[in-house]
C-alpha cells in the first residue's frame, strides 16, 4: 500500500534538485527534514519550523546521524512566521514547502497544528516560492480540530487552483471521513 506520505515524497522528489532551498513547515521527529535535505544535498538548504523544542532536538539528532546538519536551519517557532524568519534575499527562491500537519508522533497530542495558523503559513509559503515552486500538505481530519483544519486547507487549495497553481488532491485508500488527505500544489505561472 502506498501511503500518502510516500506520495508526498514522490511529488517533492520530482521537483527538488541539488542546491535547492526547501522548507519543512512541521519538523516533528525530523524524518521529512532528512528526506528534504537528501534531495538538495550536497548544497542547498532546508529551513525547518516547529513549536515544540522536542521536535527540534529530534530533528537535529536525525540530521546529525545522516551527516546532513550543515544543510538545515531550524527555527523553534510557528510556521506562520516563516516569512519573518527566512532572510528576505531568499524570498521568491524557495522550491518546495512541506506540511505534515497534526501532532508530534509519540508526543503531546494536544499540541497540534491549528487551522488559523496553518492558513497563515500557507499564504506565506505561496509568496516565498520560486516560479516553479511546489507545496505539499498532508492533513489529518481524524483528531479534534483536524476536521476543520482539513476542510479549510481544501478550500484554500481550491482558491489557489483558480489562480496560478495546479492542485492535486489524493485521498486515502480507505475512504472514511477521518482518513488523511494529501494536497499537492504546483505553481504554473
Ligand atoms: C505530524 S508531525 C510532523 C512530522 C514530521 N514532519 C516528521 O517527519 O516526523 C506535526 C508537527 O507539527 C508541529 N506543529 C504544530 N503546529 C505548528 C506550527 N504552528 N508551526 C510549526 N509546527 C507546528 C507539531 O509540534 C508536530 O511536531
Query: What CATH number did the domain enclosing 55 receive?
Result: 3.40.50.150
- Stronger pLDDT, 107 or 180, i.e. the higher one: 180
| Beta-sheet strand order (sheet of 72-75) | 72-75, 45-49, 21-24, 94-100, 129-139, 181-187, 165-171
8-12 mean pLDDT:
98
The strand pairing partners of 182, in sequence order, are: 138, 170
Q: Which residue has the cell 510556521?
A: 79
Q: How far is CA 34 from CA 105, 120, 160, 162, in A?
A: 16, 25, 28, 33
- How many A from CA of 59 to the centre of ligand 1? 11
pLDDT digits (tens, 9 = 90+) for 34-67: 999 999 999 999 999 999 999 999 999 999 999 9
Domain extent for 78 = 4-187
Cα separation of 152 and 115, whole Å? 7
* CB of 117 shorter than 6 A to ligand 1: yes
Q: Max Cα separation, the chain? A: 43
Number of separate domains in the chain? 1
Give the pLDDT of residue 1: 63
pTM of the model: 0.97
* CB of 32 shorter than 6 A to ligand 1: yes
Three cell numbers at 78? 510557528
* CB of 28 shorter than 6 A to ligand 1: yes
pLDDT at 177 over 90: no
* CB of 120 shorter than 6 A to ligand 1: no
- How many A from CA of 136 to the centre of ligand 1? 14
Cα separation of 172 and 35, whole Å? 22
- How many A from CA of 17 to the centre of ligand 1? 24
* CB of 52 shorter than 6 A to ligand 1: yes
Contacts of 37 (CB under 8 A, 6+ apart): 44, 46, 63, 66, 68, 71, 72
Nearest by Cα to 33 from 8, 60, 5: 60
The percent of residues in the chain predicted with pLDDT above 90, rounded, is 88
Cα separation of 38 and 46, whole Å? 10
The percent of residues in the chain predicted with pLDDT above 70, rounded, is 99
- How many A from CA of 100 to the centre of ligand 1? 6
pLDDT digits (tens, 9 = 90+) for 125-160: 999 999 999 999 999 999 888 999 999 999 999 999
Amino acid at each position: 500500500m502506498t501511503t500518502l506520505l510516500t506520495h508526498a515524497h514522490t511529488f517533492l522528489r520530482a521537483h527538488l534538485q541539488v542546491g535547492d532551498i526547501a522548507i519543512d513547515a512541521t519538523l516533528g521527529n525530523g524524518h521529512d527534514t532528512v528526506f528534504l535535505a537528501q534531495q538538495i544535498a550536497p548544497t542547498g538548504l532546508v529551513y525547518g519550523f516547529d513549536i515544540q523544542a522536542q521536535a527540534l532536538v529530534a530533528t537535529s539528532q536525525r540530521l546529525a546521524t545522516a551527516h546532513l546538519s550543515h544543510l538545515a536551519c531550524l527555527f523553534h517557532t510557528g510556521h506562520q512566521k516563516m516569512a519573518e524568519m527566512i532572510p528576505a534575499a531568499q524570498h521568491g527562491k524557495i522550491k518546495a514547502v512541506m506540511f505534515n500537519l497534526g501532532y508530534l508522533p509519540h508526543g503531546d497530542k494536544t499540541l497540534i497544528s491549528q487551522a488559523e495558523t496553518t492558513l497563515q503559513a500557507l499564504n506565506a509559503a505561496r509568496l516565498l516560492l520560486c516560479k516553479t515552486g511546489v507545496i505539499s500538505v498532508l492533513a489529518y481530519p481524524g483528531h479534534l480540530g483536524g476536521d476543520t483544519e482539513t476542510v479549510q486547507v481544501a478550500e484554500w487549495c481550491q482558491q489557489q487552483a483558480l489562480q496560478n497553481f495546479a492542485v492535486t488532491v489524493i485521498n486515502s485508500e480507505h475512504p472514511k471521513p477521518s482518513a488523511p488527505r494529501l494536497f499537492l500544489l504546483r505553481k504554473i505561472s
